[in-house]
């Protein structure tokens, strides 16, 4: 018996029609939710925007709405920093961070202390700080490693961080500082906390469009193969990252996403959500208005519509 390598689809979806239906389904919900105003620069983003993009492994591309409007990458950056760490083929990161859903807010101090400074997973804030810490120890410049990867995978050599967003992140980052110093107290930090957090805040402040992020997300649809045909991570590691996206990628709403969307997803409080259909495509919805868990309202509806209309859930 040959082991399955992923979901099998017996037809070629009409991505243009799927995009049309997504845009129609989302239209009444554009502007719903609350922008992430606890980060001042994100609080000034116009919520009445929505972008959608599909990039396929075969080179096809479809988009709608504000797909070429840049937004802050925020927590979606965690996905790419994790891939870079795993690309060093060093599994010691899993001694520092677990692989379980948190069931708690993404910046919970209580859970972190109860679990002796080891974060539940790499996609909540303390886990991502640990991953950034490890990447910094490998490269000497974690921010540049992430930006360099994204520049290559998006095809945009001018991809940059927004200094205003970075400043907002730093000024309102006391909870992240508390998380990092708590982990340091449990001997789960390698580098100096201020330096690690500087790289972490800058990674979150990278500006990207839905179109660009969909192209970058193909790294995971192609099982770790980069746009230039080289391999960043082994196929098995890409499978595991996709599994973590499904179980942990949308904060403490991952179960709801698995139920409604049925795809590996990674969200960010900038309003973007990246979804991966292995062997097929990467899909991005972006809408600044968030639900109470921190996930974009309009992007969630977009991805639910995409999976249902295209029959592309992995289940």
* 297, 49 Cβ separation under 8 angstroms: no
Dihedral-angle region of residue 268 (phi above 0 means left; psi in -120 to 50 means alpha; beta otherwise) = beta
Assess whether 200 carries a catalytic annotation. yes
- Verify whether residue 91 is a known catalytic residue: no
Question: Can you tell me the distance from the alpha carbon of 78 to that of 265, in angstroms, rounded to the nearest whole number?
Answer: 12
Helix (H, G, I), strand (E, B) or coil at 95: helix
User: Which residue in the list 15, 26, 75, 266 is annotated as catalytic?
Assistant: 75
The DSSP-derived string for 258-276 is HHHT-S-EEE-TTSEEEEE
Q: Please classify residue 279 by burial: count the beta carbons closer than 10 Å to its beta carbon, then call 0-12 exposed, 13-18 middle and 19+ buried.
A: middle
Cα 74 to Cα 202, 241, 253, distances in angstroms: 9, 18, 17
The span from the CA of 196 to the CA of 180, in Å, is 9
What is the rounded CA–CA span in Å between residue 82 and residue 200?
Answer: 12
On whether the CB atoms of residues 196 and 141 are closer than 8 A, the answer is: no
Which of 200, 211, 267, 296 is an active site residue? 200
Residue 269 annotated as catalytic:
yes
Exactly one of 45, 251, 276, 297 is catalytic; which is it?
251
Query: Of all helices (H) and strands (E), which one includes residue 3?
Result: none
- The pair phi, psi for residue 209, each rounded to 5°, is -100, 165
Catalytic residue (choose from 85, 97, 131, 269): 269
Burial 1-16 (b: 16+ CB within 10 A, else e): eeeeeeeeeeeebebe
Can you tell me the distance from the alpha carbon of 84 to that of 309, in angstroms, rounded to the nearest whole number? 33
Q: Please give the biggest Cα pair distance in the chain.
A: 56
What distance in Å separates the CA atoms of residue 149 and residue 216, rounded to the nearest whole number?
Answer: 9
Q: Which residues are catalytic?
A: 75, 78, 200, 251, 269
């Amino acid at each position: 018996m040959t082991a399955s390598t992923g979901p099998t689809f017996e037809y070629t979806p009409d991505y243009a029609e799927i995009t049309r239906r997504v845009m129609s389904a989302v239209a009444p919900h554009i502007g719903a939710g609350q922008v992430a105003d606890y980060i001042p620069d994100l609080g000034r983003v116009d919520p009445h925007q929505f972008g959608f993009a599909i990039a396929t492994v075969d080179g096809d591309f479809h988009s709608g709405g504000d797909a070429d409007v840049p937004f802050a990458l925020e927590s979606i950056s965690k996905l790419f920093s994790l891939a870079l760490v795993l690309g060093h083929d060093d599994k010691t990161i899993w001694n520092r961070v677990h692989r379980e859903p948190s069931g708690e807010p993404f910046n919970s101090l209580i859970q972190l202390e109860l679990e002796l400074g080891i974060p539940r997973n790499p996609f909540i804030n303390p886990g991502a700080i640990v991953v950034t810490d490890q990447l910094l120890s490998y490269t000497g410049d974690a921010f540049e490693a992430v930006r360099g990867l994204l520049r290559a995978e998006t095809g945009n050599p001018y991809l940059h961080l927004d200094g205003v967003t970075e400043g907002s992140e730093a000024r309102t980052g006391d909870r992240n500082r508390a998380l990092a110093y708590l982990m340091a107290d449990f001997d789960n930090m390698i580098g100096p906390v201020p330096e690690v957090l500087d790289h972490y805040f800058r990674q979150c402040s990278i500006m990207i469009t839905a179109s660009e992020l969909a192209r970058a997300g193909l790294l995971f649809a192609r099982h770790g193969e980069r746009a230039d045909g080289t391999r960043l991570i082994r196929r098995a590691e890409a499978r595991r990252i996709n599994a973590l996206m499904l179980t942990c990628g949308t904060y403490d709403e991952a179960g709801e996403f698995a139920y409604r969307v049925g795809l590996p997803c990674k969200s960010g409080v900038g309003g973007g959500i990246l979804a991966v259909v292995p062997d097929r495509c990467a899909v991005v919805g972006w809408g600044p208005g968030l639900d109470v868990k921190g996930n974009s309202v309009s992007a969630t509806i977009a991805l639910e519509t995409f999976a249902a209309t295209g029959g592309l859930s992995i289940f």
